Structure formats: structure tokens, C-alpha cells
Copies of this chain bind each other. A is one copy, B any other.
């Protein structure tokens, strides 16, 4: 089978990582044949490392017209993901987009529609889905071991960032440059895992604080409350202003409780469903018998190379995607809903009012300290 010719747009932190593992042969079915970046220094870095093996482009249009690649990895700033992906699909390329899918769902929905019509493979770089810890949690829930979910709680505050981090790029943590803060930059993986494993909430009431711990425009402290369609509730807490942070995910279900913390998964397993116990029990303070089970986690995450290998296999053999690109809208909907709930100081039902979100975001972009693009 012929190798898939891959191009990368955006050779920043992420793009240079993709370049490296592709050139190291970590994705056997693919070869990196072209890259594109507006910064000559980034192209220089590619040239100095890999000589003439990779075609260099400093312009998107030229890249799309002349690179001759089968597939593209988009690793540019957030706002440009959907327009670049749309252009790529229109040129008949397969697309693997970095997270987040975009900044607002209106834009991402358009991308998803073009992707669908194109019939090309569309994936998103949610490489945390390759982590055996979260795969196991998903397995225990999908297989019914935990029973119906009652409550989810993720305290994910180990995203500490100093002011100097934010000062390192004028686009950082601005409405016009990034379009969001900790929810859009640090948390897309967590929000994706949360919905991938526990499902989408039906409404959100969130409390975001903007520039609370830093001189930035966007949110750096968030507590969100959600309700799920079955009546379960959830809490998501994140911030870049605390150190040392916490990363603790608890999911309570009808058959017990699971906690992921310190890279371990513990399942407190009820021998009998709580709902059944509740219906039959006639005593005073009883509870169902509970076993504390340490669940083995085998294997290692395959991270970015794993997602790219899966993307290439999907192109070559129709292998099902670990992270279909269309699913990027889900976590983005949740983070958009959290911001919208804060801005309107009210509940937000999902799917969100995309026009209202875009309008409120646009007001913030207009007043942003730096101008987009």
C-alpha cells in the first residue's frame, strides 16, 4: 500500500512535534512531504534538520495548490482551524486538526458540514483518548459495571501558568488572539474526555472569572455545574492560578464509585445496585456491601503518534477513528456554554444558541487589546 503523503500547516510547538515523530518513522504508513508556516524561522528549522526531503511553503494558498499531499495536519492558532480545514477538504485532502476544533461552535459546525460532504477522513488530535486510564473508565461505564451515572466531579486545577507565560506571546489569553482562556487552551482534552466518558450534559450553569490571577482578558478560573439528560449532575473545576493543582475525577454510579487520581483508578464496587438495595431494604442505616477494587491499567498511551497512526490507517484501511473530527464540537460546546452562562449569568441549555455566543464573543474581540490576524 502506498504511503500517505502528509503536510503540516503550522510549525509551532505542536507542529514541530508532529514533524519530529513523522520524520522518525513513528507513523509507518505515512511520509511527511510538505510543511507550511508564515514564520521563516520555523521553515528554516525544518530545512536545517531535514534538508530537501520536505517541501516548504510560507503561504496557505500555495500549500493547498502545490504541495500535492493527501492529508494535512492543522496545527495553527485556534481561530484558523475551521477555515483551513474547510479549504483542505475542498482540495480533496484528509484532515487531522489540532484541538480545539475552533473557537466557537458556529464556525466548527460549518467545518463539520464541509467535512461530511467531502467524504474525506476527518480526525482531531484528542490524544488523551489513547490513555489506558481513561479508556478503562470508559469501559467500566459503557459496559455497565458502574451502573447508571449519578454524579461526575472533575477537579482539574493542575494547569498553573505564571504571568510570564502569558506575556510570552501578545496573542495569548486575549479574545482576539485565542478566543478563550483555560477552557480553550488548557482544558479541551479534559472536556473531551469528560463528555467522551460520561456523555454530554443537557444544561450548564458556570462561573468563570476573567483575569482573576493574571493580567489577561480571558478566563483563568472556572467552576461549572451541569445536569445530564438522566438527571445526574456534574461539577468541573479548573484554573491556571493554583499550584500545586489537583487532577481528580470522580464518577458516582448506581453500582458504586470510581476515582481517578495520581494515575490510579479505584473502583468502589457495590455488590448490589443501590437502587435495588434501596427498594428492598427494610432496616435503618444499612448500605449495600462494597468492595474497594484496584483496577489494573495495562499499556501506555500512544499519544500524538498514536492518533496520527490511527488517522493514516483510517485513510488506508478504513480503520475506525479514535477521535473523529466531528466530535470536536462537543467539548467546544461545553466550554462555549460555560462562558455563555457566565456572560448571561444564567443557565445555558445545550445545544447552545450559537448566534448569541458568536455575538457576545465578537463584542469581546472588538474590545480586545490586540487585533486578530
Give A contacts to B, CB under 8 Å: 150-151, 153, 155, 157, 160-165, 168, 205, 207, 209, 212-214, 221, 223, 225, 227, 231, 233, 235, 237, 239, 241-246, 250, 252, 256-257, 259, 268, 270, 274, 277-279, 281-288, 290, 345, 347
Chain B neighbourhood of A250, CB < 8 A: 155, 246
Whether the pair A290, B244 counts as a contact (CB closer than 8 A) is yes
Whether the pair A284, B168 counts as a contact (CB closer than 8 A) is yes
Given contacts A212-B231, A274-B242, contact A237 B150 (CB under 8 A): no
Whether the pair A244, B268 counts as a contact (CB closer than 8 A) is yes
Q: CA A231 – CA B278 in complex, angstroms?
A: 41
Which one of A223, A256, A285 has the highest number of Cβ atoms from chain B below 10 Å of its Cβ?
A: A223
By DSSP majority rule, is chain A's interface helix, strand, loop, or mixed?
mixed
Chain B neighbourhood of A286, CB < 8 A: 162
Whether the pair A257, B246 counts as a contact (CB closer than 8 A) is yes
Q: CA A257 – CA B160 in complex, angstroms?
A: 13
A321 to chain B, nearest CB (A): 31
Q: CA A165 – CA B221 in complex, angstroms?
A: 40
Whether the pair A243, B160 counts as a contact (CB closer than 8 A) is no
Contact of A164 among B163, B209, B281 (CB under 8 A): B281
Given contacts A155-B250, A237-B235, A279-B163, contact A223 B223 (CB under 8 A): no
A282 to chain B, nearest CB (A): 5
Shortest beta-carbon contacts, A-B, top 4: A243-B287, A162-B281, A244-B290, A244-B268
Q: For residue A155, which residue of chain B has the nearest CB?
A: B153
Q: For residue A257, which residue of chain B has the nearest CB?
A: B244
A224 to chain B, nearest CB (A): 9
Q: CA A162 – CA B278 in complex, angstroms?
A: 5
Which one of A207, A214, A243, A282 has the highest number of Cβ atoms from chain B below 10 Å of its Cβ?
A: A243
Whether the pair B242, A150 counts as a contact (CB closer than 8 A) is yes
Given contacts A155-B250, A241-B150, A283-B164, contact A233 B207 (CB under 8 A): yes
Q: CA A185 – CA B213 in complex, angstroms?
A: 38
Q: CA A243 – CA B147 in complex, angstroms?
A: 12
- Apart from A160-B274, A242-B257, 11 more pairs, CB < 8 Å: A162-B277, A162-B278, A162-B281, A163-B281, A164-B281, A164-B282, A207-B233, A209-B231, A223-B233, A243-B288, A245-B257
Q: List 14 A-B contacts (CB under 8 A).
A: A150-B239, A151-B239, A153-B155, A162-B278, A163-B278, A207-B233, A212-B231, A223-B235, A235-B235, A235-B237, A241-B274, A242-B252, A243-B288, A345-B347
Contact of A283 among B162, B239, B244, B284 (CB under 8 A): B162
Q: CA A239 – CA B257 in complex, angstroms?
A: 14
Q: For residue A214, which residue of chain B has the nearest CB?
A: B278
Q: CA A130 – CA B243 in complex, angstroms?
A: 30
Contact of A157 among B168, B252, B282 (CB under 8 A): B252
Chain B neighbourhood of A239, CB < 8 A: 150-151
